[in-house]
Amino acid sequence: MKTLLLLFAVSVSINFGFSQNANTELMAFHTDELSVTKVKSSPTTLNTDYLDKVLDNSMAIHVSTLEKQVSQFDITSVSKYKGISKPFKTIFKTNKGSIEVSYDNTGKIINTTEKYTNVKLPDAVRDTVFKTYSEWTLLNVDYQVYYNYKAVKKIYLVKIGNGKQKKKIKVNSNGDIL
């Protein structure tokens, strides 16, 4: 009986270990033609400017992971890329978000449009929402990022409810209601 319980415990542990694997399969969808490529990352990050502007310490892990993978994407590994001079557009998707990104011919990010679902609110945004709408409950939060080399715009689309009433509000990353 002890052996059976021990075997059961070991098999459950192994299953939990595999289910906690943070490596989600990431696919890149190229917008010039509908083709799918498994993403290959380079060991170095070319796009540190992008990461400096979009990464946030209080951000959900699935958001920062996808942004880091996009920053490390090696466009030269894609068969459709042949040193073209026009921007190379790609969409990266996971089950919780997507990033549409344009790279220049050296692999530097020109701009992105990012959309994520079910994210955790940063403290400043959460405080503003609950001070302004103290009787309301949080229903859903979506997060959008618009990046180009000059600026970044981060918007939280917060859905709240109070009984049968529902309301959608936009809040920037500083906690200002838009």
Query: What residue ranges do the domains of the chain occupy?
Result: 26-172
For the chain (length 178 residues), average pLDDT per consecutive 10?
44 42 43 45 70 86 89 77 75 92 88 94 89 92 94 95 93 89
Four-point Cα dihedral 89, 99, 47, 68, nearest 10: -140
Give pLDDT, residue 75.
77
Model pTM? Answer: 0.73
The set of residues, in sequence order, having a beta carbon less than 8 Å from that of 171 and lying 6+ positions away, is 125, 128, 129, 155, 156, 158, 177, 178
Give pLDDT, residue 167.
94
How far apart are alpha carbons 71 and 50 in whole angstroms? 7
Asked whether the CA dihedral 134, 135, 137, 143 is positive or negative, the reply is: negative
Alpha helices in the chain (DSSP H): 2-19, 48-54, 61-72, 123-132
Give pLDDT, residue 4.
40
Tokens matching residue 172: 């920037």
Q: What are phi and psi of 105, to 5 degrees?
A: -70, -10
How far apart are alpha carbons 33 and 43 in whole angstroms? 27
The set of residues, in sequence order, having a beta carbon less than 8 Å from that of 130 and lying 6+ positions away, is none
Give pLDDT, residue 168.
95
